[in-house]
Amino acid sequence: MLPRDVIVDILSWLSNPEPEAAEIVKNDRRKTVASLRLASPKLCDLMSWVPIVLRYQFGSSSQLRSLTQSFSFSSVHLAGRGLGNKGLENLLEAFRQSSVISLEGLYLEANKITPIGVKHISRFLNGPAGVKMSRLCLNGNPIGDEGVAIIADALHWPKSPPLSYLGLYSTRVTDDSARTLSRLIASRNTIKTLDLDDNHISCEGVASLASVMQRNAGCGLKELLLGRNGIGDIGGGLLAEALLFSPELTELNLKGNFNITRRTKEALVAAKHAGLTIRM
């Protein structure tokens, strides 16, 4: 019986009809590291010898020999692997073929994903199998407002996964995305952490977020990250008012918004509750 908490390092994607366990090395009492070759002709061309860390759970060695059958990952970490849109499409297709329907998180930071790639994610989230996932990280990908709109539309579907974390750090989004996400939060308040750091959001985008927070008692948000944008004094003042209706918020990041004056910062501090950290 293998430990339930397993880290699998997939060293290559080969066009084998079956996966093979090349080596299993005990790492410590809690983890087992396996070097595997996973069957996928499509991925072979694009991702050969790209190290990928996949964390998942299984209960027996027979399941290890049957990776192309149904199993559940807890998280998939692929930051900076140069997937691109086509590589992402092939990866998600491999998941569909392998009946992967449960993901704790999908982390795709800095993979040159555009709105075209986001469409592949949308189809994966709303596929017939009904994917279960709570965290989606697209940080550092140039998806822009178009990509955010695609994700928001996908998450509006009744059978879409209830995301608790949405990472959109440095994705070239503007006030349009802030308005789009505000509508999403208003209708589905499962998102607890919204990362919009290092983007192009002004006081107009913040106005939409602040309005939803006020009307819906904070919308369940626990972390709202708006660092390195351009929200200004007007946006800061709107957030200060919204804080009075956001008892669950634990972190508000405004660092790098250099157009917020001292007076507005004081208003934000005055509005914060005991459990809230504001970074300015």
Find the mean pLDDT for residues 69-98.
75
For residue 131, name the pLDDT band (cuts at 50, 70, 90): confident
pLDDT value for 56: 35
The full set of domain ranges for the chain reads 73-279
Find the mean pLDDT for residues 195-201.
98
Look at residue 262 and tell me whether its pLDDT is greater than 60.
yes
Find the mean pLDDT for residues 104-129.
91
Sheet containing strand 72-77, edge to edge, reads 20-26, 32-39, 6-14, 52-57, 72-77, 102-107, 132-137, 165-167, 193-195, 223-225, 251-253, 277-279
- CATH node for 73-279: 3.80.10.10
DSSP state of 219: G
> Helix axis angle, 232-243 relative to 203-215, nearest 10°?
10
Helices (H) and strands (E) in the chain, counts: 9, 12
Look at residue 149 and tell me whether its pLDDT is greater than 50.
yes
For residue 99, name the pLDDT band (cuts at 50, 70, 90): low
Question: pLDDT, tens digit, for every residue of 55-70?
Answer: 333 333 333 334 434 3
- Look at the alpha carbons of 154, 160, 161, 163 in this order and tell me if their dihedral is positive or negative: positive
Percentage of the residues of the chain whose pLDDT score is greater than 70: 70
CA 165-167-173 angle, 5° bins = 135
SS3 1: coil
The residues that bridge with 199 in the sheet, in sequence order, are: none
pLDDT value for 115: 98
